[in-house]
Amino acid sequence: MPLLRIYEAPDPMLRQISTPVEAIDDELRVLIADMFETMYDAPGIGLAAVQVGVPRRLLVMDLQEPSDPDDEDSPPIRQPRVFINPVIESHSDSEVPYTEGCLSVPDQYAEVMRPDHIRATWMDEHGKRHDQELDGLLAICLQHEMDHLEGVLFIDHLSKLKRDMVLKKLAKARRERGAIAF
């Protein structure tokens, strides 16, 4: 399976609003497998389809728990999850800070405030519907990835000053590694 190109800010692809997935078919399953391979290779814990140039309401996540919590070098236990047409049905009024990063804003991190509990609905790759209360890292990651489906990056939650600083650092890093700027 091929690794997919991950679009980086400020590419306009990342600002597209994703359309619903209409059918779970072999083509979608191939995309899901390619997205997981790309996410693991990056490495990351979440990836929205729009980040690889497919503006559809699909995302994959794997929080990859360590096999031995007392040994941070232990191999991770993979727990891949697929979210098709996810919707946040409700969220808590309280928010928590979390330092976020993004494969589309490589090597840049910032603290973002998000609701600490959500109730979400989605379908998995088998067409099974889910309705679940989520909290912790899973809730934060799902909100982050769902932002991508609306053309929103985590840096959009920052002040203009902080966002501009992150974008300048990203541009500098891109120049230093000889990447093409958009």
pLDDT tens sequence across 8-40: 999 999 999 999 999 999 999 999 999 999 999
3 domain-assigned: no
Give 160-164 contacts, CB < 8 A, sequence gap 24+: 162/110
pTM for this prediction: 0.91
Domain count, the chain: 1
7 domain-assigned: no
Domain of residue 159 covers: 12-176
5 domain-assigned: no
157 domain-assigned: yes
Look up the CATH number of the domain holding residue 68: 3.90.45.10
2 domain-assigned: no
Mean pLDDT of 38-48: 97
**Token pair for residue 162?**
């902080």
Q: What is the mean pLDDT of the chain?
A: 93
CB 17 within 8 A of CB 55: yes
19 domain-assigned: yes
4 domain-assigned: no
Q: Which pLDDT belongs to residue 64? A: 86
Q: Model confidence at 182, in pLDDT bands (50, 70, 90)?
A: very low
CB 116 within 8 A of CB 135: yes
User: In the annotation, is 37 catalytic?
Assistant: no
Mean pLDDT of 51-56: 98
pLDDT digits (tens, 9 = 90+) for 68-114: 778 878 888 899 999 999 999 999 999 999 999 999 999 999 999 99
From 65, 72, 133, 145, active-site residue: 145
1 domain-assigned: no
3-state secondary structure of 72: coil
Reduced 3-state DSSP string for 84-101 = EEEEEEEECCCEEEEEEE
Is residue 179 scored above 80 in pLDDT? no
